[in-house]
Structure 1
């Protein structure tokens, strides 16, 4: 009687390789990483909200200990500027808040400037002086400052200000110049004039009649303070380093190499 020979079934290769699941896992992780990179590339980060969420998470996890109660630089800046405003009783003329970029200060033009002029009122100068001193704190150095001038839609035509564009730009420039006199670096500030093109409220009714209350709100100077990007921060501190080196050489009576080199021989 012939004996029946049993042929074993072929083994699955995965049975001999217990780590085969890692291949599928790595593919899934790679796909997730690509997905989140795509989300970040299309997203707009709201810096104040991001810092609030970050502080809240760290507080709940208890990873910062006593430091968990510390506020973010933007939150600290907002509080410091509010203290200045309230100490000088200027809260009726200055509104301080935050947006997706950082801190926003709105200055009532009628409180800071005379009608049709870009010269800062004497009574408003101490407010801006103290704001500048606050922004001079080392923790606020890597921040950029953008000053915007806005007007209502009433036209102006003077020798100094042919239109609302020049008036709004002149008021923004006046604030920047005053900040610079207090030591804020000019290369991290800019002045922008928008004229009447960006009103907060309608200047007129549907029939074209002016709305004085809205026009008064639209006449404003907006100071936006936001963190520098990584590239801006690197460029800023590189300029500061070069300036310090140049100042040190000047103090020691040295002349920069470019000025001591002899001119090339004539050919």
Structure 2
């Protein structure tokens, strides 16, 4: 008769989940401790920083002397009106001067205009002088030709008597450039604009008035599928601003608009002077940044223009001892 072994009972411990739960609670506690520790701020320093930022960005300059509500500002409103009008709308004298400049340039470059190598145009914001790059530079080059040096020397004599901002813009066609100096048409157009800036500075135009921009092939004015269209797209444009404050910062322009609308917004002439000084400082910083960018582009282009060493080709040569000597073939 078969004996039946008694089945062994397995004891099941139902408390094992408590170990995992305890680990989870411990980690959760540590997490909240860390979060609490990093959330502690120095309240005094926080208030000091908040007050300083609020004073710089939001608080307008105030007059230390008390002013009655029904008392008008001691500064004549004519000063505010004149400053605001000359800043925001551009004075008629500037427009008249540029009209005279336009007639002078038309007379100076009449032959080039007739040959469709130079085009003169204007609107309410800019006086635009468009020049064909074929007259100024060789293909895939930013070195100015003799004609370019003479042309921009003549142009500089006309521009020296003005204080308007001048922007030089470089454009190319869509043909891929094959030059060790320029990686793409971006570099070529920027280098050509920078070259024109240098020519104008060398002829007496103040550097503070000048800026250079390169657009590459991405703003064509004609069809790049034809030779004539590509020739029109290869151009350099000299843009003379009709208004001196075209480069004014947004904050300074807002301050001048407030002065024009509310003469009592600024309680003294010194406050307007400070606003103008801030705008001038911002413009100078922007000009320095643009000049630094031009220097970096020129340094990069000069580095790419360095001639690479020719490849070293080793040729086997038999020696008197029966061995083989590898040389480049130039050794004597």
Equivalent residues of 2:140, 2:178 under 8 A apart: no
Q: CA deviation at 1:211?
A: 1.1
Asked whether 1:146 is paired with 2:167, we answer yes
CA distance in 2, matches of 1:102, 1:135: 14
Partner SS for 1:190: strand
1:213 aligns with 2:228: yes
Larger Rg: 2
- Answer yes or no: is 1:185 the counterpart of 2:185: no
Shift of 1:236: 11
Question: Residues 1-267 of structure 1 correspond to what in structure 2 (within 5 A)?
Answer: 72-86=96-110, 89-91=111-113, 92=115, 93-137=117-161, 140-141=162-163, 143-203=164-224, 210-226=225-241, 227-229=243-245, 232=248
Q: Deviations over 1:103-152 (max 9, x none)?
A: 00001000111111111110232111011011001xx12x0000000000
- Structure 2 stretches lacking a partner, 5+ long: 1-87, 250-275, 282-332
Contact 1:107 1:221 in 2 (8 A): yes
After superposition, the Cα gap between the structure-2 partners of 1:75 and 1:136, relative to the gap in structure 1 and judged at 3 Å, is: same
TM-score, L = length of structure 1:
0.56
**Residue 68 of structure 1: aligned partner:** none
**Structural RMSD (CA):** 3.0
Deviation readout 1:160-195 (Å, 9 max, x if unpaired) = 111000010111111000000111111211110000
Work out the CA distance in 2 between the residues paired with 1:197 and 1:75.
Answer: 31
Structure 1 residues 117 and 72, CA gap change in structure 2 (3 angstroms) = same
Please report how far the alpha carbon of residue 238 of structure 1 lies from its aligned counterpart in structure 2 after TM superposition: 6.8
Quick one: distance in 2 between partners of 1:175 and 1:236?
30
The answer to whether the Cα contact below 8 Å between 1:74 and 1:102 also exists between their aligned partners in 2 is no
Cα offset, 1:201, TM superposition: 1.6
